[in-house]
Amino acid sequence: QSALTQPASVSGSPGQSITISCTGTSSDVGGYNYVSWYQQYPGKAPKLMIYDVSRRPSGVSDRFSASKSGNTASLTISGLQAEDEADYYCSSFTSTNSYVVFGGGTKLTVL
């Protein structure tokens, strides 16, 4: 199983907001501000959406925001659009020898 825990699925209607959680430990999410979020469409490579807990790369919509509290990071997508339907993965730096750990992924369905 993955090192970081995410809900398997979330859903929302167009225009609504949803939040995806990512729970780790003090050795990863809770201990460092190196949490990233990725969006992945079927058959495609992941795309970086958030890095350093809450920073957006150039070109990523400001409808995507993220934060962290303790050992749990969260990704919020506001004003849901059909194109947001995808899988979302969190990742974190880890002080163990794995260097990077990922969550198991959350499938977002736009109703």
Partner 1 sequence: QVQLQQSGPGLVKPSQTLSLTCAISGDSVSSNSAAWNWIRQSPSRGLEWLGRTYYRSKWYNDYALSVKSRITINSDTSKNQFSLQLNSVTPEDSAVYYCARDPNTQRKFDLWGQGTLVTVSS
Residue type, 34: Y
Gap between the Cα atoms of 95 and 13, Å rounded: 38
Contact present, 88 and 7 (Cβ < 8 Å): no
Nearer to partner 1, 34 or 64 (CB): 34
Shortest Cβ 13–partner 1 spacing (Å): 28
Least distance from partner 1 to the Cβ atom of residue 30, Å: 15
Tokens 């890095």 -> residue: 51
Which residues of this chain interact with partner 1, rule CB under 8 A? 2, 34, 36, 38, 44-48, 51-52, 57, 89, 91-93, 97-105
In whole angstroms, the minimum distance from the beta carbon of 16 to partner 1 comes to 27
Instruction: Specify the DSSP class assigned to residue 84.
Output: G
Q: Pick between residue 43 and residue 82 the one whose CB is nearest to partner 1.
A: 43
Residue type, 87: D
